[in-house]
C-alpha cells in the first residue's frame, strides 16, 4: 500500500518522499485535486496533503468523495498545517478539514520521524479497514451460499415428496377394502408428507428472511403490516375469539412483507398458545427507546418458563410435541433472522401461566419519518 502525497512546494514533496521511501513506504505524487481523487480511487493507505494545496473547492470535492464511501472505508488524511499561534482562522480551518473524516493535523516544521510514524499508523489503520471489508464480503457470500443451498434443498426435496404423496393417494384407492392397519399406515405416511412439506416451506422462508437488499426501502406504516398479518390470521382469530388491540405505531423503513411476517408469527403464537380457560387477548404496541422502536406483542396465554426463553428462537425448536399445538418450531427463528437483518433484537418476558410479552427492536434510523410526532 502506498501513501499519496499532495504538496505544491517542491522541497516539501521531495522531503516527504525521501522520508517515506527510507522507511520502505511507497509513495505517489498528486499534482492536482483531480489527480489525487483518481489515485484515491485506485486505492491508497493514506494521503498526506500540505494545507495550502487545499482550496475550499478541493476540500468540498474530497469530502463528497469520502461521504460516498462504504461504511467500512475511512481513508486516513494527514494534513500539514502552517505553524504558529492558533487563531480563530486556524480553528475554523481545522473544522472545515474535519469533513475529511479520518484526519490528523501535523504542524510544520515537520520532523521526519513524526511523518514516518503518522504514515505508518495510517497504513495500519487502512489495513484493518481492508480486513473488515474482506470479512464482510466473505460473510455476505457465506450468507448467499447458505440461502442458495436452503433454496435448492427445499425445492429438490419437495419433488420426491410430492411423488410420495401422489403414490400414497393411489395406493389408498387400490387398497380401498384392505385392513384397518393398512389404512392407518397410509394415513400416517400422508401426515408425514404434509408435515415435511410444512417444514420445507418454513426452511425456505427462513433462508430468504435475510436476503440482502441494496435498494433504498420506502417508509412503511407499521400498522399496515399489522393489518395484513391480522387478515392472514383472520380464521384463527375468529376461531379463538381473540381480542386484539393495536396501539399507535410508527412508520419504519423495512420491507413490508418482512414486518408482516414477524407480526403474523408473533400474533399467531399469541393465539395458538392460549390458556384453555381464557379467551386470548393480544396487545400490540410500539415505544421509542434510545434510537430504536420497540414493538411488543403481549398475550394472556400459557407463558414460557425462564429456562426456555432463549431456546425458543432457535431453528426447529419447540417446547411441545406436535400433538396439542401444530407448528414447525421455525416461526420465532424466522422472526429473529428478519429482525437481526435490520440491526434489531427480539426477546421475550414471561412467566408460566402469566402470559408472554414478545418485544422486537428496529433502529429508528431504519427510517421512521413521523419520529418527531412520537418522541421519547
Ligand atoms: P411453533 O409455534 O411452530 O412451534 P415458534 O418458533 O413460533 O414455533 O415457537 C417456538 C416455541 O416457543 C413454541 O413451540 C412454543 O412452545 C413457544 N412459544 C412461542 N410463542 C409463544 C407464546 N406466545 N406463548 C407461549 N409459548 C410460546
Tell me: the pLDDT tens digits for 236-294?
A: 999 999 999 999 999 999 999 999 999 999 999 999 999 999 999 999 999 999 999 99
Cα 88 to ligand 1 centre (Å): 63
The whole-number pLDDT of residue 230 equals 97
The whole-number pLDDT of residue 214 equals 56
| CA 313 to ligand 1: nearest atom | 6
The model's pTM is 0.71
Number of Cα atoms under 13 Å in the Cβ half of residue 75: 28
Pocket perturbation via mutation, ligand 1, pick of 318, 320, 353 by most ligand atoms within 8 A of CB: 318
Cα 270 to ligand 1 centre (Å): 8
Cα 309 to ligand 1 centre (Å): 10
Q: For residues 263 and 242, what is the distance between their CA atoms, to the nearest angstrom?
A: 15
Assign 216 a pLDDT band (cuts: 50, 70, 90).
Answer: confident
Cα 161 to ligand 1 centre (Å): 26
Assign 140 a pLDDT band (cuts: 50, 70, 90).
Answer: confident
Tell me: the pLDDT tens digits for 107-129?
A: 988 899 999 999 999 999 999 99
Say yes or no to pLDDT of 5 above 50.
yes
Nearest CA, atom 2, ligand 1 = 327
Say yes or no to pLDDT of 62 above 90.
yes
| CA 270 to ligand 1: nearest atom | 23
Q: For residues 269 and 92, what is the distance between their CA atoms, to the nearest angstrom?
A: 58
Nearest CA, atom 12, ligand 1 = 312
Assign 87 a pLDDT band (cuts: 50, 70, 90).
Answer: confident
Nearest CA, atom 20, ligand 1 = 269
Q: For residues 290 and 126, what is the distance between their CA atoms, to the nearest angstrom?
A: 31
Say yes or no to pLDDT of 366 above 90.
no
Nearest CA, atom 8, ligand 1 = 329
The whole-number pLDDT of residue 23 equals 93
Q: In terms of Cα–Cα distance, which of 234, 254, 242, 265 is closest to 333?
A: 265
Ligand 1 pocket at CB < 6 A: 265, 269-270, 273, 299, 301-304, 312, 317-320, 327-333, 356
| Kind of pairing between the strands at 220-221 and 103-107 | unpaired
Instruction: Return mean pLDDT, the chain.
Output: 90
CA distances from residue 296 to 67, 195, 222, 304, 315 in whole angstroms, order as listed:
36, 30, 12, 16, 22
| Best-predicted range by mean pLDDT (30-34, 161-165, 172-176, 296-300) | 296-300
Cα 313 to ligand 1 centre (Å): 9
Cα 273 to ligand 1 centre (Å): 7
Say yes or no to pLDDT of 376 above 50.
no
| Kind of pairing between the strands at 2-6 and 251-252 | unpaired
| Best-predicted range by mean pLDDT (53-57, 86-90, 263-267) | 263-267
Tell me: the pLDDT tens digits for 95-109?
A: 889 999 999 999 988
Assign 13 a pLDDT band (cuts: 50, 70, 90).
Answer: confident
Amino acid at each position: 500500500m502506498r501513501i499519496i502525497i499532495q504538496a505544491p512546494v517542491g522541497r516539501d514533496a521531495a522531503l516527504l518522499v525521501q522520508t517515506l521511501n527510507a522507511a520502505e513506504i511507497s509513495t505517489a505524487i498528486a499534482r492536482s485535486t483531480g489527480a489525487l481523487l483518481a489515485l484515491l480511487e485506485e486505492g491508497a493507505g493514506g494521503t498526506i496533503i500540505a494545507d495550502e494545496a487545499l482550496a475550499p473547492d478541493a476540500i468540498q470535492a474530497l469530502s463528497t468523495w469520502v461521504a460516498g464511501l462504504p461504511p467500512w472505508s475511512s481513508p486516513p488524511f494527514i494534513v500539514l498545517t502552517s505553524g504558529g499561534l492558533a487563531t480563530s482562522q486556524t480553528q475554523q480551518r481545522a473544522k472545515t478539514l474535519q469533513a475529511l473524516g479520518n484526519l490528523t493535523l501535523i504542524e510544520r516544521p515537520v520532523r521526519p520521524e513524526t511523518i514516518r510514524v503518522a504514515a505508518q499508523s495510517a497504513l495500519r489503520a487502512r489495513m484493518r479497514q481492508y480486513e473488515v471489508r474482506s470479512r464482510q464480503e466473505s460473510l455476505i457470500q457465506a450468507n448467499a451460499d447458505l440461502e442458495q443451498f436452503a433454496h435448492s434443498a427445499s425445492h429438490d426435496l419437495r419433488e420426491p415428496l410430492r411423488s410420495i404423496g401422489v403414490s400414497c393417494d393411489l395406493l389408498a384407492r387400490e387398497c380401498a377394502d384392505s385392513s384397518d392397519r393398512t389404512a392407518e399406515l397410509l394415513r400416517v405416511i400422508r401426515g408425514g408428507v404434509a408435515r415435511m412439506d410444512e417444514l420445507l416451506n418454513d426452511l425456505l422462508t427462513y433462508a430468504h428472511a435475510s436476503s440482502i437488499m441494496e435498494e433504498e426501502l420506502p417508509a412503511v406504516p407499521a400498522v399496515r403490516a399489522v393489518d395484513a398479518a391480522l387478515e392472514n390470521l383472520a380464521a384463527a382469530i375468529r376461531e379463538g375469539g381473540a381480542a386484539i388491540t393495536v396501539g399507535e405505531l410508527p412508520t419504519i423503513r423495512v420491507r413490508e412483507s418482512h414486518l408482516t411476517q414477524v407480526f403474523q408469527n408473533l400474533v399467531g403464537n399469541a393465539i395458538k398458545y392460549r390458556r384453555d380457560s381464557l379467551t386470548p387477548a393480544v396487545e400490540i404496541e410500539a415505544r421509542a427507546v434510545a434510537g430504536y422502536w420497540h414493538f411488543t406483542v403481549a398475550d394472556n396465554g400459557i407463558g414460557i418458563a425462564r429456562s426456555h426463553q432463549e431456546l425458543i428462537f432457535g431453528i426447529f425448536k419447540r417446547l411441545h410435541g406436535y400433538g396439542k399445538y401444530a407448528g414447525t418450531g421455525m416461526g420465532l427463528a424466522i422472526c429473529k433472522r428478519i429482525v437481526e437483518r435490520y440491526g434489531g433484537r427480539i426477546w421475550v418476558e414471561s412467566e408460566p401461566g402469566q402470559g408472554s410479552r414478545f418485544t422486537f427492536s428496529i433502529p429508528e434510523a431504519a427510517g421512521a419519518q413521523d419520529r418527531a410526532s412520537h418522541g421519547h
